[in-house]
Amino acid sequence: MLAWTIYLSFAGALAEALLPKGRAGLARGLALLIAIAGLGIAVVGFAADAGKGRITIVDVAWVPAMGVHYSLAADGISRVLVLLTGLAAVAGVLFSWNIELRTNEFFAFFLALIGGVYGVFLSFDLFLLFVFYEIAIVPKYFLIAIWGSTRREYAAMKLALYSFVGSAMVLVGLLAAYATSGSHSTGLDALAHAGLSVQFQMWAFPLTFVGFAILAGMWPFHTWAPTGHVAAPTAASMLLAGVVMKLGAYGCLRVAMSLFPHGMDAWGVSFIGIGSWRDVFAVLAVIGIIYGALVALVQTDFKFVIGYSSVSHMGFVLLGLMTLNQIGVTGAVLQMFSHGVLAGLLFAVVGRIVYERTHTRQLAELEGMHLSKRMPFAAWGFVIAGMASMGLPGFSGFVAELQVLAGSWNANPWWTAAAGVGIVIGVAYTWRALQKAFFSDVPHTHHVHGDEHGHAFAAITWPEVMGFGLLTAASLAIGIYPRILLDSIEPAVKALLAGGGQ
Amino acid sequence: MNFAHLFLSTLPETVLEVAALLVLVVDLGFLRKTELKTRTSMATLIGVLGCVASLWAQIWVSGSKGVVEYGIDGTHDVLLFNLRWAGAAQAGILVLTAFTLLLLTRTAFTRHAGEYVAVVLMSATGGLLVSSAQDLLIIFIGLELLSLGLYILTAFAKKSGNSAEAALKYYLFGGMSAAFLLFGFSYLYGLSGSTNLDQIADAISKSGVIAASPLLYIALVSIAAGLGFKVAAVPFHLWAPDAYEGAPAPAAAFIASVSKVASFALLITITTAVLSPKWSLILVVLSTASMLVGNLAALAQVSVRRLLAYSAIAHAGYMLLGLAYLRVDGTVSWWDGAKAFGSANALLYYILTYGITTVGAFGVIGVVERTTGSDRMDAFLGLHKRNPLLAAVLLVLFLSLAGIPPLVGFWAKFNLFAAVLGVSAGVVPFALVALAVGMSAVSLYYYLQVLKRAYVMPPTDETPIRVDPVTMLVLLLIGASVVLLGCFPSVLQNWIAGFYPVL
């Protein structure tokens, strides 16, 4: 049943592309309908199969000559991420309700991207996964280049090239694994059991891991992320940070780590405490956490703050993956979900609710606007989102980061210590942005454009309230009762670690 | 075997040649007084029907025998034509020729529609011969027939200075490369005492003296130079950007597709005969240079035709890589699967899908050029507004050229690279494949430059572009086939593999 999320999204994209021009209302309605249907399927699929292990959805030969199967399946991790994608899609449509330029094309690219993302999370054939992964790249380019803002063409091209270089690395690893295994199959299970030699895994693992991690925003390959997020239209930023970066992390987990587990074995030599690829990537993840947070601390553009915070939060995901223990990897998956929801929330407040009314994202200009009084919904919305993002108990971020830290403590206490510093800086940059943008007591400035004599801002619209409510509710629900997701994630992670550790 | 058999086995070529003459007779004999539109339509119609008839003959011939042998003086029969896998290339040539002819309707670059179609058909005949011949003399004659047609086609826009300049460059380079090729052939003949590739292969493999002879090196290098020119491999590529830019759009489409298919089919034939580390080394050098120069030079282009020329060079580079690691025995492969896809098949898959994509790309360029009068990238500004269907076709074709799944260009690349690694999984082929994959990541940049103008940048002119129904239909057909063949890749794979009867 979950497979229908893919087909519906692609059918919706096609239908949107064929819609007559100028019927913006129709295009929005259709997109919302498709997104809600996708979310509905994801929720039902999640609820129906909760607690069960992996469910095979469809498995037919696609390219018999090469042993490629059209193989869709869902384990607990997939179901959680499909649920996230459904949430992000609905929220994305709601927060792009104000798109007037080429509306039907916008939603066509949007739904094509969503379809590709659903496809990646449900693919259990390496080849099919790669195909969906690449399908997701092209719509991103057009979404940013056509509907974006600051330096959009530069950012879109940078994003497309980074993604494509990453996927080229993945493709090389994929071809190599395929040719070396000689198993005449590209199924993930078949390749995982192909008995690839340790020497091979030693170089295939970093190749594919980095290839995917580029899209997950791993330092130092993260630079596409802030520029891309800032340039993208709100819905695209929400999707980019919310689900596309998860594609990268998911690829790291599902492909790199489970196909080439011995790639993380110790080299036998150790240099300043780094003795394996696992250490290398964990250190890069920690650097990403701290670096992203520090850079977010000094940004003058509100959206860049959120952009760099994504780099920092994705660092937790990668760190969690590199702990290689049950609690850490579970935390990483939970963090994927949590960050997907929270990044969407933050970008929605900053990019849509605030920017569309003030027409500036410069913190210095926002300071003079006293937004807490004039736009209380936005201010309190950002307070909630910011609290959740900095890991306040009761929100999803807390549970996730706690598990990642607990896992990394078991693996290497130094990582935990460093990541803890990242959390502290996270509080600082969120606080700073919150204070400057909303609760500043700088005297009112009249020279700010678009804000002559403090006229009232446009009222908050119902799609904004609904989208905000949806994401906040999701984050709160997980924060208060994380077992909803953990019951699905934990067995899947257990199976993955056991299967990968053979 | 007698001459009647020989005639029978070249039936597709004969049919096509007859169609070419028929076009001339009808056009010059009966339609001289009618207006250009009628003459063009009539000539196109006959040409396309000729292609269809020839295709039918080709299917019949390859179904009947597959291999044509010809006895000399009572000695054992020698292989004259190999119609086994070449059947796929021939069918591809005929289909591509028909498409390029259909793109001619409504073009106004010439008043001599009849001659144009006749030359196209004759050139395609040369292509058919080249792709199946096993004898150096037939190969050379076929190649000259193909090339002379291409020179004429390049120059066919008589009022355009660019066209004449491009044709002259093409002709001069072509003449020189033909000389190289003939020189190499003569050495091969001198070494082995035969003009037949089968016997040459035999002689080389049996005699260590020949295999070790430096003269063989000279022969191989000369042949590589001659054929490298045909497929526009670096450093023999200099004619390509000019010819692609100067030739009338349908002629450019023909040069970029049919001539490429025929030349690569020939390269497979020759590689089968002379495959050795020496030959592979030459091909690897050509391939690496083509991938690098083609992709990097394409980054700097502002003319979409020149961009396609450099991208063609890059694609030739990928294909030469497949050729360097050729394994011809299609029945046995690295999986020992009955339906496995050998590297010769992967190469055919690549060149056929590349051919169809390029024909479509030139079709779109031709339409845009007719309306805007330019093939600059800026001529594509706002194409999505001026004609959404045309823009959609361009999107699909260019993304396919860049190798984005699930379009057919992705499978072409994947097949080819997997086949290379399947033949040899050492460090060198692996590094080469990594280079090729990396370079195709670079290629996305320049394809996106065109698509960016079609979709993203604000249009300077929003008047709709009108496309005549036949051209649009052909373009939609090509676009749809690129998508559908990509979604169901095994259809084309099985079709190509079907030309390989179990030995």
* DSSP codes joined into one string, B383-420: HHHH-HHHHHHHHHHHHHHHT-TTSHHHHHHHHHHHHH
Which of A130, A145, A179 lies nearest to residue B425, judging by beta carbons?
A179
Cβ contact, residue pair B404, A171, below 8 Å: no
CB distance A447 to A364 below 8 Å: no
B497 shares contact with chain A (CB less than 8 Å): yes
Q: Average of pLDDT values for A145-169?
A: 87
Would you state the structure tokens that stand for residue A147, as one six-digit string? 């509907």
Which pLDDT does position B331 carry in this prediction? 38
CB distance B344 to B327 below 8 Å: yes
The size of the A-B interface in CB pairs under 8 A is 90
How far is residue B132's CA from residue B83's CA, in Å, rounded to a whole number? 6
How far is residue A292's CA from residue A269's CA, in Å, rounded to a whole number? 30
A184 shares contact with chain B (CB less than 8 Å): yes
B466 shares contact with chain A (CB less than 8 Å): no
φ/ψ of A69, rounded to 5, equals -110, 145
Has residue B379 got a pLDDT over 90?
no
Classify A186 in phi/psi space as left (phi over 0), alpha (psi -120 to 50) or beta.
Answer: alpha
Has residue A449 got a pLDDT over 60?
no
Query: What is the distance of C-alpha B212 from the center of its chain?
Result: 33
CA distances from A307 to A418, A419, A428, B483 (A): 21, 18, 15, 36
Name every chain A residue with its beta carbon within 8 A of the beta carbon of B456.
142, 145-146, 153, 156
Name every chain B residue with its beta carbon within 8 A of the beta carbon of A184.
335, 337
Q: What is the percent of chain A where pLDDT is above 90?
A: 21
- Closest alpha carbon within chain A to B403: A134
B476 shares contact with chain A (CB less than 8 Å): no
Cβ contact, residue pair A175, B417, below 8 Å: yes
Q: Show the beta-strand stretches assigned E in B22-112.
A: 67-70, 78-82
Q: Which of A70-84, B5-19, B144-158 has the lowest mean pLDDT?
A: B5-19
A146 shares contact with chain B (CB less than 8 Å): yes
Which pLDDT does position B224 carry in this prediction? 93
How far is residue A232's CA from residue A153's CA, in Å, rounded to a whole number? 10
Cβ contact, residue pair A145, B335, below 8 Å: no
Look at residues A167, A164, A188 and name the one whose alpha carbon lies nearest to residue A253: A188
Cβ contact, residue pair B337, A179, below 8 Å: no
Q: Where are the domains of chain A?
A: 3-499
Has residue B340 got a pLDDT over 50?
no
Q: Average of pLDDT values for B472-489?
A: 92
Which pLDDT does position B2 carry in this prediction? 63
Has residue B64 got a pLDDT over 60?
no
Name every chain B residue with its beta carbon within 8 A of the beta carbon of A171.
414, 437
Query: What is the distance of C-alpha B160 from the center of its chain?
Result: 25
The shortest C-alpha distance from B49 to chain A (Å) reads 34
Cβ contact, residue pair B444, A130, below 8 Å: no
Has residue A417 got a pLDDT over 60?
yes
Residue with the bigger pLDDT between B178 and A68: it is B178
10 Å CB burial of residue A199 (0-12, 13-18, 19+) is exposed
How far is residue A7's CA from residue A13's CA, in Å, rounded to a whole number? 10
Q: A482: which residues sit within 8 A by CB, 6+ positions away?
A: A334, A396, A399
Q: What DSSP element (H or E) covers A410?
A: helix A396-411
B484 shares contact with chain A (CB less than 8 Å): no
Cβ contact, residue pair B452, A145, below 8 Å: yes
Mutate to test the interface with A, among B397, B448, B492 (most CBs of A within 10 A): B448
B405 shares contact with chain A (CB less than 8 Å): yes
Mutate to test the interface with A, among B396, B416, B437 (most CBs of A within 10 A): B437
CA distances from B131 to B10, B20, B194 (A): 12, 19, 20
| pLDDT tens digits for range B393-421 | 999 999 999 988 889 999 899 888 888 88
| pLDDT tens digits for range A171-195 | 988 888 888 877 778 888 888 887 7
Q: B411: which residues sit within 8 A by CB, 6+ positions away?
A: A63, B349, B353, B405, B485, B486, B489
Q: Average of pLDDT values for A119-141?
A: 90
Within 10 angstroms of residue A453's Cβ, the number of other Cβ atoms is 6
Name every chain A residue with its beta carbon within 8 A of the beta carbon of B384.
105
Mutate to test the interface with B, among A6, A10, A66 (most CBs of B within 10 A): A66
How far is residue B402's CA from residue B478's CA, in Å, rounded to a whole number? 16
**End-to-end CA gap in chain B:** 21
Banded model confidence at residue B10, pLDDT cuts 50, 70, 90: confident
Banded model confidence at residue B378, pLDDT cuts 50, 70, 90: confident
Name every chain A residue with its beta carbon within 8 A of the beta carbon of B335.
67, 182, 184
- Among A267-271, A325-329, A351-355, the range of highest mean pLDDT: A325-329
Cβ contact, residue pair B339, A64, below 8 Å: yes
Would you state the structure tokens that stand for residue B139, as one six-digit string? 């190969």
CB distance B444 to B359 below 8 Å: no
Which pLDDT does position B53 carry in this prediction? 93
Cβ contact, residue pair A182, B438, below 8 Å: no
Residue with the bigger pLDDT between B128 and B77: it is B128
How far is residue A55's CA from residue A130's CA, in Å, rounded to a whole number? 20
